[in-house]
Amino acid sequence: MSNVTSTPAPVAPASSSSRHAGRKPDKRREVNGFTGLAHVALVIWALATAGPLIWVVLASFKGNTEIFLGAPFALPKHFSFQTYVDAWSTAHVGRYFLNSVFVVAVSTAGTMLFGSMAAYVLARYRFFGNRFIYYLFVSGLAFPTFMALVPLFFILKGFGLINTFTGLILVYIAYSLPFTVFFLSAFFKTLPNEIDEAATMDGASHTRKFFQIMMPMAKSGLISITIFNIVGQWNQYLLPVVIMQGAGADKNWVLTQGIANISVSAGYHAQWSTLFAALTLSILPMIIVYAIFQRQIQAGLTAGAVK
């Protein structure tokens, strides 16, 4: 008996349409296209933001003729720091700068102390009225500043705090607390309860748990909100104008008031280079702060999402 071997029938090659029918759409091209558009948008945004800053810095070294008749982004013919000397001493920017440093330092410290304690209690403890107090703090975010200027002025006047650093510091703290409590209360909720319970079992008091355990764990969030408060209080103009007025008020002016005064004077005396030097002195501290604490700010903003 002979063995018969059967040969398999040839398989027809699959058409191109059938090969691609079950394949998922390639999203790499879409992602690459979106990434390219995002990069273009970021470059445009960076130029729109950095352009005016570069122009201000360059103009601070120029005279009036170069500022108005020369190329906007051309380098100055002579790099002289005399405009900065005039702004610091003659225009009293040095005094305004030190006033701002003192007021912002004290008010930021007070804001972080009271705000972190309030946020910790509202986030970690349950008691009657907890949510009401929390929403009372958060409602301050929706309250426009200019609506409270008149009653605020008369309240401070009744306490004798007009044209005083104490009054300005207290107002800065009050207006910075809502966002601080809102931000930190959400951050404190993400911290693990096991460490808190272990500290309680070891006999740690509430004060010790907060200052020695919870605050170090919330370091990234505290740094982030501290930077936001510093920038917001450093750039504040409306509140100091209302509070710092009266006889001899210019001695207690902060930097924003001093720059506004230089701007008005420059309109008549053409001290434009002095004005731009003062603006540069007010901008540089914030740029330095952001450059130093950039990683901490990003870590604080993303810590809650990661946890």
* pLDDT band per the 50, 70, 90 thresholds, residue 28: low
pLDDT at 200: 84
Q: How far apart are CA 147 and CA 168, in angstroms?
A: 17
**CATH number for the segment(s) 82-306:** 1.10.3720.10
Residues 246 and 163 sit within 8 Å (Cβ to Cβ): yes
Q: What is the DSSP string of 154-196?
A: HHHHHTT-TTSHHHHHHHHHHHHHHHHHHHHHHHHHTS-HHHH
pLDDT at 103: 96
Q: How far apart are CA 118 and CA 134, in angstroms?
A: 9
Domains of the chain by residue range: 82-306
Its pTM stands at 0.80
The predicted-structure confidence for 172-226, as pLDDT tens digits, reads as follows: 999 999 999 999 998 898 888 888 888 888 888 888 888 888 888 888 889 889 9
Residue 304 has pLDDT above 90, yes or no: no
